Structure formats: structure tokens, C-alpha cells
Amino acid sequence: MAQAQRHPFLDGLSKYRGAPPTVVVIFGASGDLCARKLIPAIYNLGMDGLLPADFFLVGYGRKPIPDEEFRTDAAAAIKEFSRRSLDADVWARLAPNTSYVSGGYDDKAAFDRLAAHLAEIEQRTGRPVQPLFYISTPPNVFAPILLNLGASGLAAKYLGTPHHAKVVIEKPFGKDLDSALALNTTIRSVFKEHQVYRIDHYLGKETVQDLLVQRFANSIFEPLWNRNFIDSVQITVAEEVGVGTRGGYYEQSGCLRDMIQNHTMQLLALTAMEPPGALDAEAIRDEKVKVLKAIQPLTIGPAGEVVRAQYAAGMMAGKPVPGYLEEEGIARQSATETYAAMRLSINNWRWQGVPFYLRSGKRMARRVSEIAINFRRPPGTLFAGETARFDLAANTLSFQIQPDEGLSLILNTKIPGLETRTQPVKMSFRYAATFGSNTAEAYERLVLDAMIGDGTLFIRGDEAEASWKLCTPLLDYWRSVGRQGMDSYAAGSWGPPGSDALLASRGHHWRQP
Ligand SMILES: NC(=O)c1ccc[n+]([C@@H]2O[C@H](COP(=O)([O-])OP(=O)(O)OC[C@H]3O[C@@H](n4cnc5c(N)ncnc54)[C@H](OP(=O)(O)O)[C@@H]3O)[C@@H](O)[C@H]2O)c1
């Protein structure tokens, strides 16, 4: 009994959020994402008592894998990748409900076998079990999987009840506007929009959700959240890693597709959207779509508002690293950008005239994702003139999304002493320091939200389309000009000179997070 109290999911319903009996079916279950993120996420939900009593995990893939081997692999994945170590009691209850079905992604008969397997699970349980399909394969098989979920009747299971079948779709959601529209058409031929959960794992991060709380649960920020008080906004998603062994994939993708179109645009939408009427999925996503649609088309071309670049050889953590064009699997004349920066204008009452600067890159000086809100400078009349005594900074509110999640505010203060001298100081809040460092990972939150049918932190079809509509003309232009205009930056730096010039032309400069 003591164990049941430690892990309430073992004997009762999901502890806090009422997840119904569920079977999670992971397509691509032999893959990297499943081992590194999905299985550890499910395990940690179990450990926190957030899984329903009747919870089942089914892996699906082309290679035949016996149930026992899948369980062994899953336990190994938890040991290696989970934020908490493998608890024998929790695993002893999850393991018997873990199984594997093998078959092709375009093989209707295999999906019929999957349907029969799910029916068996329900028979054993003696009650309806909601299916949650998680598509964790490369995107070339998204469509066949979706179509077979339709053809086998699985997509329509329990439609009309709250426990209807749900589908989670991994990124990338298309590679341009046309492919995103085509994918949405396929999805809508099989599923209703409210069954669909397009994932962007950035939205599962604490600080990203905290952005909504900071904006709408504190009365001090929202009155200032507009063109009258905000001078500019900077959104940075910087990685230290290069392309590593994923050169083949990256050559087809590039920074705009891999980072800007999805994560960075989502951060922008949450920062800039109007207050929603309610904190529910549709109200929030309506506002995100509205603001994405209000972004002005980019000025493209040599004097445009966008910079792209590739990393050149440089030093990372004191070690030399090769440039992008020397990496394995990269064409020597590659025109794929590893860095992109842009200036966006939002054409609405709140934001007109406020530049939104976005940048993302590989092999940058530090791994950091942040949103920085730069307020207008105070009128300099009182503390001006003798600049050596008065070091005045614009107030900046920054949300650090990773690593070391938190937020900070730069304020000007008086340096203690008989003279009046000022200096900017930083007031910081760090999640780890206040709440402990072992917080749930983004995928835990997102898997649970999909199970309980909360789409707030997922991307709606029209959001994906609005974002692609903005990025696709730029991709088309870059394809048409090849390497022309491609800038470069040393690995380990903060990006190319052109990116600094983009901001300097408006009297701004990038923050060094
Ligand atoms: N890995 C990450 O950290 C990460 C992060 C964010 C998003 N994602 C996205 O999540 C999805 C899965 O990522 P992943 O890294 O797990 O992918 P992966 O390891 O390359 O592939 C997952 C599984 O899909 C099947 N598969 C692989 N290539 C295939 C092909 N050409 N045709 C049909 N099936 C194929 C394989 O399973 P079988 O051979 O057993 O069928 C493989 O184990 C991708 O869409 C990726 O973009 C991944």
C-alpha cells in the first residue's frame, strides 16, 4: 500500500489533471526522439502520478521487435535519458502494459493489426481506452501514417466524445507553404482539427508558459507592453552545436526552417499577441494567428531586412572546430544557412514602429534562447551630461528560455556613496534557485496535455500556415540566388557582421546574453 501512495497512478485515476484511460501509440518508436524524450517523459508522468490507472504504451515501426526487447530498450532509455532514475516499482507497473507492433507505415493490413491490438487492450481493460497516436518518424511518412489511421478507422475512434482519438505530429511541419498546406489537407481528410496536436517543444518550456503569466497575471507589465514604452524586441535562439552527424538532414533544412519558422515565430507570437479572452486553446491560438498575420511581408534582397550566414572554422570551448562547408555530408558550395537574423514589423495599433529582431544560429558563442524586451530610454534630462557619472541603460526585461530558465530586469540604480553616480544592475529570478532544478521537461507537459485534450501549447493548422506564408518568399528568393549574399561568422562568435549592421541601421545592437 505504501507504494500505491507514492505512485497514485498505479491504483487510481491521474492525480491532478484527470487523464482518461489511454493508449499512446508511438510511430517511429525505434528512433532517437522516442528513446531520448518520449519514453522518459511517459515514465516521469507515471512517477508523478499523472498517468491514468489504465495506461498503455505501444511502439510501432518497420523492424520486427519483440515486446520483451522493446521493454528492455525502453528501460535502458529511461536509465540513460530520464531526469530521474528508474524506479523499479513504477517500471514494474508500466512494463507489462508496454508492447510493440511492427509493420510498414504505408501498409493498411499492418494498421488493421494495430487496430486489433488496441481492441484487445480494451477487452482486457473492460472499458474504452482513448488512443493517442504520436507520429515520431521522419516527415516523408507523416502522410501515409495519417491516411492509414483514417483507412483503418482508428482516426475516428470515439469521435464525438471527449476521449476521441488524438494525433500528435512532430516537427518539421512542412518545408514551405505549399507542403504545409498539403500536409494540413491530408490531416483534415482524416482528423478534425480538435484531434490534432502539432508539436513545438519550445511551447512546453516553463519560461514560455511563464511569459503568459508574467504578461497577464501581473498588472505592472501589460500597460507598458506597446509602442509607447517598448523600443524594440530581440528574440535569440542560439546553439553551440554544429551540424554534427546530421549534415544530410540539415542541408535540406537550414536555420530558417529548423528554428525561425517554428520556435522563434512562436516566441514572437506569444510575446506580441493581444490578451486572449480566456486562457484556453482556441482563444490563445486565435490571438497568435492574428498577430502572425499582422507581420509585414519581409523586405528581401541585398538591402533587405534579413541576413543569412554560414559558420566558418573557429574555436569552441578552447578547441578548434571546422566550418560548415568542411563538415561531413555538406556540399562544398552549399547554400544552406546556419544562421539567420531578421527585422520584422507588426502592422497593428500596439506594435507599429517597434522592430522585432529575430536571430538563430549554430556554433554560436553560447547556447541560449531568450526574449528581450527593450524599453525606451528614460528622458535624459536629470541624469545626463556627465556620462562618466551616469551610466544609464534602457530597461530590459528578458525571459531566458534555456538554459537556466528564468527572467531578469535591468534597472538603473545609484552606486552607493556620497556622489550621485548611476549604474545598470540586473534583478534576476531563476527557476532552479526558487523551485529546485528537477522540473518537468517540455515533453512531459506536452504528452500529458495531449492526453487530456488541451491544445493550448500546440500549433493550430492556420498558425503553421501563417508562419510559412511569411518565410516561404524568403526561401524562394534564397533558392533563386544560390550563395549570393551569404555572410559568414567564426564558430564561437555571436554571428556575422551583416547582422550587427541590420540593427545598427536603426541605432540598435544585439544583446550579448
Ligand atoms: N531527435 C530529436 O531530438 C528530435 C527533436 C525534435 C523533433 N524531432 C522530430 O521527431 C521525428 C522523429 O525524430 P527521430 O530523431 O526519432 O527520427 P529517426 O530516429 O530518424 O526516425 C525515427 C524512426 O522512424 C523510422 N524511419 C527512419 N527513417 C525512415 C524513413 N526514411 N522512412 C520511414 N521510416 C523511417 C525508423 O523506425 P523503423 O525503422 O523502426 O520503422 C526510425 O527509428 C522527426 O520528425 C524529427 O524531425 C526529433
227-255 pLDDT, tens digit per residue, is 999 999 999 999 999 999 889 889 999 99
Residue 107, ligand 1, Cβ within 6 A: no
Q: Which domain does 59 fall in, by range?
A: 2-170
Q: How far is the CA of 505 from the centre of ligand 1 (A)?
A: 42
Domain-embedded: residue 409: yes
Q: How far is the CA of 72 from the centre of ligand 1 (A)?
A: 20
Compute the residue count for the chain.
513
Say yes or no: 150 and 213 in one domain. no
Say yes or no: 106 and 227 in one domain. no
Domain-embedded: residue 304: yes
Q: Is the pLDDT of residue 360 over 60?
A: yes
Ranges assigned E (strand) in 242-328: 306-312, 314-316, 319-321
Q: Say if strands 396-402 and 406-414 run parallel, antiparallel, or are unpaired.
A: antiparallel
Residue 28, ligand 1, Cβ within 6 A: yes
For ligand 1, what atom is nearest to the CA of residue 34? 16
Say yes or no: 368 and 446 in one domain. yes
Say yes or no: 154 and 229 in one domain. no
Cis preceding linkage at 139, omega within 30: no
Protein residue with least CA distance to atom 2, ligand 1 = 33
Residue 245, ligand 1, Cβ within 6 A: no
Protein residue with least CA distance to atom 29, ligand 1 = 138
pLDDT of amino acid 377: 87
CATH number of the domain enclosing 154: 3.40.50.720
Residue 140, ligand 1, Cβ within 6 A: yes
Write the single-letter amino acid at 475: L
Q: Is the pLDDT of residue 302 over 90?
A: no
Protein residue with least CA distance to atom 47, ligand 1 = 171
pLDDT of amino acid 3: 39
Domain-embedded: residue 382: yes
Q: Which three cell numbers stand for residue 143?
A: 502522410
- Name the average pLDDT for the chain: 92
What mean pLDDT do residues 263-291 have?
95
Q: How far is the CA of 32 from the centre of ligand 1 (A)?
A: 7
Pocket test for ligand 1, best of 25, 26, 33 (most atoms within 8 A of CB): 33
Domain-embedded: residue 184: no
Say yes or no: 41 and 159 in one domain. yes
Q: Rounded distance, CA 303 to CA 166, Å?
A: 46
Q: Where residue 351 falls among pLDDT bands split at 50, 70, 90? A: very high
Say yes or no: 160 and 267 in one domain. no
Protein residue with least CA distance to atom 31, ligand 1 = 138
Cis preceding linkage at 416, omega within 30: no
Domain-embedded: residue 213: yes
Q: How far is the CA of 172 from the centre of ligand 1 (A)?
A: 11
Domain-embedded: residue 180: no
Q: Where residue 303 falls among pLDDT bands split at 50, 70, 90? A: confident
179-220 pLDDT, tens digit per residue, is 999 999 999 999 999 999 999 998 988 888 889 988 999 999
Domain-embedded: residue 124: yes
Query: Which long-range contacts link 326-330 to residues 24+ away (Cβ below 8 Å)?
Result: 327/242, 327/243, 327/247, 328/245, 328/247, 329/243, 329/245, 329/247, 329/248, 329/251, 330/243, 330/247, 330/250, 330/251
Residue 374, ligand 1, Cβ within 6 A: no
Say yes or no: 275 and 422 in one domain. yes
pLDDT of amino acid 386: 59
Q: Which three cell numbers stand for residue 303?
A: 538591402
Residue 137, ligand 1, Cβ within 6 A: yes
Domain-embedded: residue 197: no
Residue 262, ligand 1, Cβ within 6 A: no
CATH number of the domain enclosing 264: 3.30.360.10
Residue 246, ligand 1, Cβ within 6 A: no
Q: How many domains does the chain have?
A: 2
Half-sphere exposure at residue 256, Cβ-oriented, CA atoms within 13 angstroms: 27
Return the number of other C-beta atoms located less than 10 Å from residue 447's C-beta.
Answer: 27
Residue 263 appears among annotated catalytic residues: yes
Protein residue with least CA distance to atom 40, ligand 1 = 61
